[in-house]
C-alpha cells in the first residue's frame, strides 16, 4: 500500500470532496482521483460513494479511514523523531484556539516559537470550540485550546485557565451607563446578541440561567464574534463574553464590560489532545510555551491546575 495513495484517500474523506483534498495536498484533481482508484484496485474494494454533496466512505472505506489516520500519524511521528536527532525539533505543529485567546496570545507565541525552534513551522487556527474539537479528533490539529468542551472519551483535557464572563455593552446605551457588575438574574432585562448553539459560552450561559430560573431575552444569534461585537457597538444589544473580547480594541472605544455576579459566570479554558494520538516532541514543547505565557497572566484571568484529566474523571 502506497502512503501517498492512503493520504489522498484520507483527505478526500475528511473534506468530502476530491477538489478540496487536491488543494490541500497541492496536487491536481486527476492525480488525487487516480491515487484513490489505484488503492481501490489494490484492495479490490470500493472505498468511496458519490452523492449530491460530495463523496462519503463505504463500509470498507470507513474501516480503512480508521486505520489510515493512525498509520499516517505514526509515519509523521517517525519522520519528526528522526529529524530531531539532528538538533532542535523540526516539522510542523498546528494549534487551534478561540479568537479571544488568539488575539491575546498568538503574536507572543509565534515570537517564542521562532526563537526556540528555528527549524520548525507553526500553524495557528482560530475557530469556535465545537469546530476545533471535531478538527482535533480528525487529526487536523495537534492540540487545541477549548472553552468548556464536551465530555468525551476521545480527548484528554488539561485545565489551564478560568475567566469570568462579562456583559458587554455600549457606553450610554438607552441613556444608561454600563454598571460595574450585573447580577445574573438581571440578565433577563438585557436583549442579548449571542452565538447560536452549539457554542461553548452560549451553552454555559443557557445551562446556568436555566438552573437559576433566569429567562434570557435573545434578540439575535450571530456566530462570528467580530460581527457580534459590531452589532453591540451599534447599540443593537448586549453580549456575554470574556473581557478579552474587547481588551485592547481601540476601534471600539465605546464598549464597556460589566462582570456577571451572584453567582459569577466562569468559563474554563483547557488544552485538549486526542486520547489515542501521542503528541510529537515539538507539539509538547509548544504546549509548554503556551502554558508559560498563560501562567504569566497574558489572558488576564485565573490560572488553573495543570493536571491532565478526562472530563468525566
Residue 150, judged by CB atoms within 10 A of its CB (0-12, 13-18, 19+), counts as middle
Distance set, CA 168 to CA 94, 192, 214, 254, 301 (Å)? 31, 10, 18, 10, 17
Predicted confidence band at 139 (pLDDT cuts at 50, 70, 90)? confident
pLDDT at 302: 53
Is residue 78 included in any domain, yes or no? no
- What is the 8-class DSSP label of residue 249? -
Is residue 210 included in any domain, yes or no? yes
pLDDT at 300 over 80: no
The answer on 63 and 91 residing in a single domain is no
pLDDT at 311: 41
CATH of the domain at 227: 3.40.190.290
The answer on 180 and 254 residing in a single domain is yes
Is residue 257 included in any domain, yes or no? yes
User: What is the Cα–Cα distance from 188 to 207, expressed in whole angstroms?
Assistant: 14
Is residue 17 included in any domain, yes or no? yes
Residues 133 and 284: beta-carbon distance below 8 Å? no
pLDDT at 248: 54
Dump the DSSP string for 6-51. HHHHHHHHHHT-HHHHHHHHT--HHHHHHHHHHHHHHHTS--EEEE
Residue that has been written with the C-alpha cell 504546549 in this structure: 287
- Helices and strands in the chain: count of H runs, count of E runs: 9, 14
pLDDT at 182 over 60: yes
Is residue 94 included in any domain, yes or no? yes
Last residue of a domain, one of 72, 101, 119: 72
pLDDT at 305 over 80: no
pLDDT digits (tens, 9 = 90+) for 200-258: 888 889 999 999 999 999 999 998 888 999 999 999 999 998 887 776 555 678 888 89
The total number of structural domains in the chain stands at 3
pLDDT at 53: 79
pLDDT at 188: 93
pLDDT at 83 over 90: no
pLDDT at 93: 93
Task: Calculate what percentage of the chain has a pLDDT beyond 70.
Answer: 90
pLDDT digits (tens, 9 = 90+) for 49-63: 988 778 899 999 999
pLDDT digits (tens, 9 = 90+) for 25-34: 888 999 999 9
Angle of the 3-15 helix axis to the 18-25 helix axis, nearest 10: 130
pLDDT at 85 over 90: no
| pLDDT: which is higher, 278 or 59 | 59
The answer on 190 and 106 residing in a single domain is no
pLDDT at 312: 41
The answer on 53 and 98 residing in a single domain is no
Is residue 77 included in any domain, yes or no? no
Nearest alpha-carbon partner for 201 in 170, 175, 168: 168
pLDDT at 210: 93
pLDDT digits (tens, 9 = 90+) for 34-52: 999 999 999 999 999 988 7
In this predicted structure, which of 20-24, 68-72, 77-81, 202-206 has the lowest mean pLDDT? 77-81
The answer on 185 and 120 residing in a single domain is no
User: What is the Cα–Cα distance from 217 to 192, expressed in whole angstroms?
Assistant: 6
| pLDDT: which is higher, 70 or 146 | 146
The answer on 254 and 180 residing in a single domain is yes
Dump the DSSP string for 296-312. TTTTSSEE----EE-TT
Q: Indicate the average pLDDT of the chain.
A: 86
Q: Determine the structural domain holding residue 92 and report its residue range.
A: 84-159+271-309
Nearest alpha-carbon partner for 35 in 73, 27, 58: 27
Residue that has been written with the C-alpha cell 516539522 in this structure: 91
The answer on 176 and 106 residing in a single domain is no
Amino acid at each position: 500500500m502506497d502512503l501517498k495513495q492512503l493520504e489522498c484517500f484520507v483527505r478526500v474523506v475528511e473534506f468530502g470532496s476530491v477538489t478540496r483534498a487536491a488543494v490541500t495536498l497541492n496536487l491536481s484533481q486527476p492525480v488525487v482521483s487516480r491515487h484513490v482508484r489505484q488503492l481501490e484496485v489494490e484492495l479490490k474494494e470500493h472505498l468511496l460513494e458519490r452523492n449530491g454533496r460530495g463523496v462519503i466512505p463505504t463500509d470498507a472505506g470507513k474501516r480503512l479511514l480508521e486505520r489510515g489516520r493512525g498509520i499516517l500519524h505514526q509515519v509523521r511521528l517517525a519522520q519528526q523523531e528522526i529529524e530531531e536527532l539532528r538538533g532542535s525539533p523540526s516539522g510542523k505543529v498546528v494549534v487551534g484556539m478561540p479568537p479571544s485567546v488568539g488575539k491575546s496570545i498568538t503574536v507572543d507565541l509565534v515570537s517564542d516559537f521562532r526563537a526556540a525552534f528555528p527549524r520548525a513551522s507553526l500553524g495557528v487556527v482560530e475557530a469556535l470550540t465545537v469546530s476545533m474539537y471535531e478538527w482535533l479528533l480528525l487529526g487536523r490539529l495537534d492540540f487545541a485550546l477549548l472553552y468548556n468542551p464536551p465530555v468525551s472519551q476521545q480527548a484528554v483535557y488539561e485545565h489551564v485557565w478560568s475567566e469570568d464572563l462579562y456583559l458587554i455593552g455600549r457606553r450610554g446605551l438607552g441613556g444608561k451607563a454600563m454598571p460595574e457588575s450585573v447580577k445574573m438574574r438581571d440578565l433577563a432585562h438585557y436583549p442579548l446578541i449571542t452565538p447560536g448553539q452549539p457554542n461553548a459560552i452560549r451553552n454555559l450561559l443557557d445551562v446556568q440561567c436555566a438552573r437559576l430560573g433566569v429567562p434570557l431575552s435573545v434578540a439575535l444569534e450571530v456566530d462570528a464574534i467580530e460581527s457580534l461585537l459590531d452589532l453591540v457597538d451599534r447599540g443593537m444589544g448586549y453580549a456575554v463574553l470574556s473581557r478579552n473580547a474587547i481588551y485592547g480594541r481601540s476601534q471600539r472605544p465605546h464598549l464597556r464590560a460589566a462582570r456577571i455576579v451572584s453567582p459569577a459566570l466562569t468559563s474554563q479554558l483547557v488544552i485538549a489532545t486526542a486520547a489515542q494520538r501521542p503528541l510529537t516532541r515539538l507539539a509538547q514543547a509548544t504546549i509548554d510555551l503556551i502554558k508559560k505565557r498563560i501562567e504569566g497572566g497574558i489572558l488576564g484571568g485565573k490560572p488553573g491546575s495543570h493536571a491532565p484529566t478526562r472530563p468525566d474523571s
